[in-house]
Amino acid sequence: MKKIYLDQASTSYPKAPSVARAVYDYLSGSAVNVNRGGYQAAYSVEEQIFETREQLLRLFHFTSGKGKNVIFTPNITTSLNILLKGLLKPGDHVLVSSMEHNAIMRPLVQLAGNGVTFDRIPCRKDGSLLIEKAEALLRPKTRLLVCLHASNVCGTMMPVQKLSAFCQKHHLLFILDTAQTAGTVPIDMEALHLDALAFTGHKSLRGPQGIGGFLITNELAAQIEPLISGGTGSVSHTEEVPAFLPDRFEPGTPNIPGILGLHAALSDLEKTSMEESFQHEMKLTQEFIDGIQALDPFEKNIRIIGKKNTTDRCAVVSLQTLQPDMSMVAYELDSTYSIMTRVGLHCAPSAHKTLGTYPEGTIRFSFGSENTRHDVDQALHALAEITGTLCIL
């Protein structure tokens, strides 16, 4: 039976066609290091890395930024740790949403042990932000608002334009986690007045795992103490951390295969219509939601968590089933129907508490540009048989 991949929120599949070729060509053709080798092969790889930085500046409309303002890291979690732990000091106060992933919450909880405080802006049961509640949470030492762009649990998007205006009004720094939106939803770093934007390469950008990063303004970069330091291949006469970007935040040998794979993925992305891809994903999302409601209109056994439309969301849908157990449903989807999903708490306990699905969690279905209506129909058929719900499609 053909495998059906509906776990795009975890990592995209299939990857852009040229990604594997780019990684293979590098590893088999030269595999040289950069910033260390004084020969043409190394310079050629450095040029491709520079081009990747330029692609990311264009993708996120960071028109005032330069290549040095793009920092590569192993993943978005590392990016957020560098930003939060390098910026925040004892006494600082932070605002987040109640829908955050642990990539933000765990660093903040760690920092709370060192005198940093935070408050969660509450969200509704569908994951949408109650932005009117944010004002009352402000403190004299509130310094930063950091949040995800879209929930990895239910797909609900944050009102980033309103949050940007809020930050501007109250002179707060604004950092955005784009794990679920980069490559699918247009993001304008300048228009949103973002101080930093964290991204990952392996989701909707369709690059390989192990490569992520952040885009940062010069002003914010000057306020951040590097979390990791070491050799950079530059200013090697001193043991001091370089003061200039990107070297200040990029010690050690970079993940060159990952960067070159991301370069290939971004090149493919530039040839496609992001709007068309997003509309395709939204169509599949609505068809899936409509199908679930047709299967169980009174939610006696299958319950949709979050929004039941495609307004202000990405292509992530979570369900709860009463019978059988959700872990068993996910197991049957894979073992009997070859449909891959994700079940559990999705590294986001705060989101599940907001949605009312803690500690049970949900079964998550997430769609990408390569998924089809056939995939949706097969998932609905499988759910109907596994749960014993009458299919009236």
- Contacts for 163-169 with beta carbons within 8 Å, 24 or more apart? 163/129, 163/131, 164/191, 164/192, 164/193, 164/194, 166/131, 166/134, 167/193, 168/193
Residue 100 in domain: yes
Residue 245 in domain: yes
228 and 316 within one domain: no
Look at residues 241, 271, 301 and tell me which one is the last residue of a structural domain. 271
pLDDT of residue 232: 93
Q: How many domains does the chain have?
A: 2
User: What does pTM read for this prediction?
Assistant: 0.96
Domain boundaries, position 313: 4-13+273-387
pLDDT of residue 392: 41
Look at residues 224, 249, 271 and tell me which one is the last residue of a structural domain. 271
Pick the more confident residue, 208 or 393.
Answer: 208
194 and 48 within one domain: yes
318 and 224 within one domain: no
pLDDT of residue 80: 98
Sign of the Cα torsion 234, 235, 237, 241 reads negative
pLDDT of residue 83: 98
Give the pLDDT confidence of 177-201 residue by residue, as tens digits.
999 999 999 999 999 999 999 999 9
Share the mean pLDDT of the chain.
Answer: 96
pLDDT of residue 389: 81
167 and 141 within one domain: yes
376 and 247 within one domain: no
Q: Strand 302-305 and strand 316-321: pairing?
A: antiparallel
Query: What percent of the chain is predicted at pLDDT more than 70?
Result: 99
Give the pLDDT confidence of 205-253 residue by residue, as tens digits.
999 999 999 999 999 999 999 999 999 989 999 999 999 999 999 999 9
108 and 201 within one domain: yes
**Relative orientation angle of helices 76-87 and 102-112, to the nearest 10 degrees:** 30
Mean pLDDT of the 47-56 span: 97
Mean pLDDT of the 94-113 span: 98
| CATH code, domain carrying 163 | 3.40.640.10
176 and 310 within one domain: no
Q: φ and ψ at 217, to 5 degrees?
A: -75, 155
- Judged against a pLDDT cut of 50, whether residue 391 lies above it is answered with no
| CATH code, domain carrying 342 | 3.90.1150.10
Give the pLDDT confidence of 300-337 residue by residue, as tens digits.
999 999 999 999 999 999 999 999 999 999 999 999 99
Look at residues 221, 241, 271 and tell me which one is the last residue of a structural domain. 271
